[in-house]
Amino acid sequence: VPTPPVSGSDADKGSLKSYAAGFIFSVGLTTVAFALVLQGGALSRRTVLFGILAAAVAQVLVQLRCFLHLGTGASARWNLLTLVFTLLIMLLFVGGTLWIMSDLNARMM
Amino acid sequence: MTPPALSIDAAVTGELGPLEAADNRAFGFWLYIMSDLVLFAALFATYAVLGHNYAGGPTGRDLFHLRYVFGETLLLLVSSAAFGLAMLAGARGGRTRVLIWLAVTFVLGLAFVAMEFNEFHHLILDGHGPQRSAFLSSYFTLVGTHGTHVAFGLLWIVVMAGQVAFKGLTAPVRSRLMRLSIFWHLLDIVWVGVFTVVYLMGVI
């Protein structure tokens, strides 16, 4: 007996198209990031670092959008809001730690 | 016109229908996932501070094999996409298809954990265990915590496959599958941070 779909939840907004797009973009961005590091000295270290960080941010955004269907729609609004708040906390956490520890490190030298 | 009795009861007792209950639980689980991200942020911060303290031991450049890590990454990524296909099959009520895609997700996830276990095993055998340097301590903690999450996700997949097989795609089972999908996709997103910060930045 087929059960009626639980409509309104975020899972139903996924389509084959969005999963396929998310997958293809993710494979592409992963390959670019690894290729940048494995290409062996043709590019400067700074360029490679910038490239892999940009690819990582892009891939996170792609997966949030295509796999988790995060958007600005009514049902996903609270998910988005809490994620943005969490990102702020993470930024304070990581940024603050690095700042304090590098400062301490510099003073101990 | 009086409103239907059910909604009055719901308003009085605070009980929710299956649809709102599923949405609320998904949101509650989302909040747990956010707290999990804060946990990973703490481990990333620790790694960022300690990641260059080698204590005269090996560096990331000596230890990491990027082609191996690329393989791990692809396994987890395909497994994340396979879970999406299980959710799509679930939305159409295809129980057998849900089970097939869950099995695919499980096998790929298990292969990922096995590769990571193998990597840790060889590092420890070569004397590059977590006690060797602050770099390796923070490396094992960060990557191992992610791997433990994936292992628990695998256990959860087995439980949910059992529920789909024996209970069918009922509203509670769908709602649990939905939360498992959030967990599984988020683990792949955390892995993007791990392979970029630990492996790629450790080698350049």
Contacts of B203 in chain A (CB under 8 A): 37
Question: Bigger pLDDT: B6 or B63?
Answer: B63
- Which of B41, B88, B170 is opposite residue A93, by nearest beta carbon? B41
Nearest partner of B110 among B145, B151, B170, judged by Cα: B151
How far is it between the farthest Cα atoms of chain B? Answer: 81
Mean pLDDT across B9-38: 80
Q: Rounded mean pLDDT of chain B?
A: 92
pLDDT at B119: 97
Model confidence at B164: pLDDT above 60: yes
- Band (pLDDT 50/70/90 cuts) for residue B95 is very high
Model confidence at A91: pLDDT above 60: yes
Chain A residue with Cα closest to B31:
A82
Model confidence at B7: pLDDT above 90: no
Model confidence at A80: pLDDT above 70: yes
State the Cα–Cα distance between residues B85 and A18, nearest whole angstrom. 11
Tell me, yes or no, if B203 comes closer than 8 A to chain A by beta carbon.
yes
pLDDT at B189: 97
State the Cα–Cα distance between residues A54 and A67, nearest whole angstrom. 19
Mean pLDDT across A24-53: 93
Model confidence at A4: pLDDT above 90: no
Tell me, yes or no, if A23 comes closer than 8 A to chain B by beta carbon.
yes
- Helix residue ranges per DSSP H, B126-198: 134-167, 171-194
In one letter, which amino acid is A31? T
Note whether B175 contacts A6, CB cutoff 8 Å.
yes
State the Cα–Cα distance between residues A19 and A16, nearest whole angstrom. 5
Tokens at residue B145, please?
């915590």
The answer to whether B133 and B54 have CB atoms below 8 angstroms apart is yes
Whole-prediction pTM: 0.89
Model confidence at B56: pLDDT above 70: yes
Tokens at residue B186, please?
């988020």
Mean pLDDT across B122-147: 97
A19/chain B closest Cα distance in angstroms? 6
Q: Which residue has the tokens 């988020």?
A: B186
State the Cα–Cα distance between residues A51 and A55, nearest whole angstrom. 6
Model confidence at B15: pLDDT above 70: no
